[in-house]
Amino acid sequence: MNKLKEKVALITGSRQGLGYAIAKSFLDEGAKVIINGRNQKEIDVVAGQLRKEGLDNVIGIEADVRNQIECFSMVEKIINKWGRVDILVNNATDSIVLNSEDVSSADWDKTIHTNLSGSFYCSQAVAKLSMLKNKSGSIIMISSVLGLGGSRQRAAYCAAKHGVIGLAEALAVEWALSNIRVNTICPSNIMTPLEMEDALTGRCGYTTEDIEHRTPMGRYSTPEEQARACVWLASDDSSFTTGSIIKTDGGWSAYMGW
């Protein structure tokens, strides 16, 4: 416990699912946490729920990560509140499941800008306004097993998540002498409500049984398991780890079958 005591952590796209699990795990470890989303009322509800559980050091700040100005404004608000940003988790995501020949420019832009541009804008903001001055920080990118390979009907998502890995490696090298560590986790399928809905409706082209069969460990990951990997990367336990790609995928990327 308290691996992140007094650390200030921003988790983008943290109203629900994986982002929420990361936020809660960070709070449990003593961090001061900023919940982020695109609707202030909704993120205020989430922050309020966490405070009711006794996790008091949490606030919500609305910002669209696709907008560079909003990202900088969000970080300025955090600094005004808590003085700095120690940890950033670039978790905000979007995807389109569609045959590549049918993907519109709007579909493409939304997926690329949410996953990749947003990760850059938020990283840029926390580095420029806080981490470079303090010569300390941990930035965690949430990529995917689809950032390591390809899949049907996922061209935009695969391109974005491959890009996130390249971005993380570039920033890790550039900011290493300022003691800013930048790492990536690559989860496979995570048991979130949205993922379950996707699998049960078949709109993503697979079932829960397909995923369980395809994953060597025979099951979905839980959000809490992914969050624990983020706690390690955010903490001093990983003080010499930067530019790393950690496969939190139950063996998915190691397995060549189906």
Residue 258 lies in a domain: no
Token reading at 146: 């689809």
What kind and span of H or E run contains 224? Answer: helix 223-234
Output 257 or 31, whichever has higher pLDDT.
31
| Angstrom distance (rounded) from CA 177 to CA 9 | 21
Instruction: Report yes or no on whether pTM surpasses 0.85.
Output: yes
Residue 197 lies in a domain: no
Annotated catalytic sites, by residue?
157
Residue 28 lies in a domain: yes
Q: Is the model's pLDDT at 183 over the cut of 80?
A: yes
What would the mean pLDDT of 149-172 be, rounded to a whole number?
Answer: 97
Q: Is the model's pLDDT at 199 over the cut of 80?
A: no
Instruction: Check residue 200 and give its pLDDT.
Output: 75
Give me the CATH number covering residue 96.
3.40.50.720
Number of compact structural domains in the chain: 1
Residue 215 lies in a domain: no
Q: Is the model's pLDDT at 146 over the cut of 80?
A: yes
CA distances to 35, 54, 159, 254 from 217, in Å: 31, 35, 27, 11
Residue 254 lies in a domain: no
Residue 211 lies in a domain: no
Residue numbers of the domain that contains 89: 8-191+223-246
| Angstrom distance (rounded) from CA 186 to CA 13 | 17
Q: Is the model's pLDDT at 80 over the cut of 80?
A: yes
Residue 218 lies in a domain: no
What would the mean pLDDT of 120-140 be, rounded to a whole number?
Answer: 98
Residue 122 lies in a domain: yes
* DSSP one-letter string for 58-107: EEEEE--TT-HHHHHHHHHHHHHHHS---EEEE-------S-GGG--HHH
